[in-house]
Structures are given as structure tokens and as C-alpha cells.
Amino acid sequence: MSDSPRTPRFDDRARRDLYDQRVVVLDGPLDDDNGPLLATQVVALAARDPDADIAFWIHSPGGSVPAMLALRDLFRLVPCDVSTLVLGIAYSAGQFLLSAGTPGKRRALPHSRVLMHQGSSGIGGTAVDIELQADDLRHTRDTVLGLIAADTGQPVDRIFTDSLHDRWYSAAEALDYGFVDAVVDRFDQVVPRRGAVPTGFGVGR
């Protein structure tokens, strides 16, 4: 086995180039490290130009619930529209962020896949701890499912039922369900625009 370091396929330079074109990328799991970074990028781009769209590209198996809720809050707070695009997979938190984009500007590549589920609980500890954790989990679950219902136009009861078990959707099915507004069929639907002069909030500066 070679001891030479592996060259990243998607390095800081690529991220910086996309950032300068107002593209933010979630590639891989969403966690408490990249979540705040993505949030900072969204805020910085909105401050740079409050009228130009921000593109949020997703290829993710899911991840942190607090991070995804924070990002959705920012999608709604920033003055510009946030378009979302699933590049390959948008599972769990990835699905949540995909459908949280600005209505009319949520897209999927033709062979992408979307997964909706309620996630794992991870409950443990004493009986009192378990009861408190269960109450918090129910609150978080109900909040998330209510937001998915609001973003997709589906009734909360249907979202609850459909999310009880892992449920995968093709791009066409995701469109029909309301996760996205269109399946990409033209290059101009995904090509990023060149942003203004960088302000120093980019990646790897």
C-alpha cells in the first residue's frame, strides 16, 4: 500500500471557485463542522449581493439535525433566493435541505435519488433520561416533519406515515411528491453565475 497522501477529488480550490460563482456544496455527511461553515458561506454570499441567487448543491447521505435546521432557517432569512440541486443523492438531512430551497428553484438531476426517513433515536441512560430524551426527540421529529410538509405541500399525516421507514424516490417521484420543482433537462438550469469580487469569506483563503 502506498504511503503517499491521497489527493482530494474536491479540494479547497474547487470549492473556492464555486463559492466565487455563488455555489455552496454539501458533499458527504452534514455534521457540526461543515454545517456552520456552509451557514457562514450562505450568509456571506447574501451580504455580498442580496439580489443574486445562491445555489446550494447536494450530494449527501444525511447528518446533523441541528445543522440542517440552522441552514433552513438561513435559507428563509437571507434576502436572496436559494436554489437547491441534488447531484446524486439527497438522503435524510439532504432531502430536508433539498426541499427547503426557494419554491420554483429546487431541482434534481435525472438519475438522482432522494430518501426520506425519521432517522435513528440514539436514546440511552436512566429511565428519567430516556423520558426526557424521548420528549425532546418527539418535539424535534414533529418540527422536522411539519417543515417537510410545509415545503412539499403534503399533509403532515402523509409525511409521518411515509417517513416511518426508509423510502427512496427517483427524480421523477421526487418531483411528483414535492421535494423538487423540476428535473434538470438543460445545462442553463445548473450553470453557476460568476459572482462579484471576493470579500474574504470563501473557503481556504
Reduced to 3 states (helix: H, G, I; strand: E, B; else coil), residue 45 is helix
DSSP conformation class of 188: G
> Which residues are known to be catalytic?
92, 117
- Percent helix, percent strand, percent coil in the chain, to nearest 5: 40, 20, 40
CB 108 within 8 A of CB 171: yes
- Distance (Å, rounded) from C-alpha 200 to C-alpha 190? 25
Torsion sign, CA atoms 123, 128, 133, 139:
positive
Nearest 5°: phi and psi at 172? -65, -40
Structure-block grid coordinates of residue 137? 426527540
- Hey, what's the cell of 79? 434576502
Burial, 194: exposed, middle or buried (Cβ in 10 Å; 0-12, 13-18, 19+)?
Answer: exposed
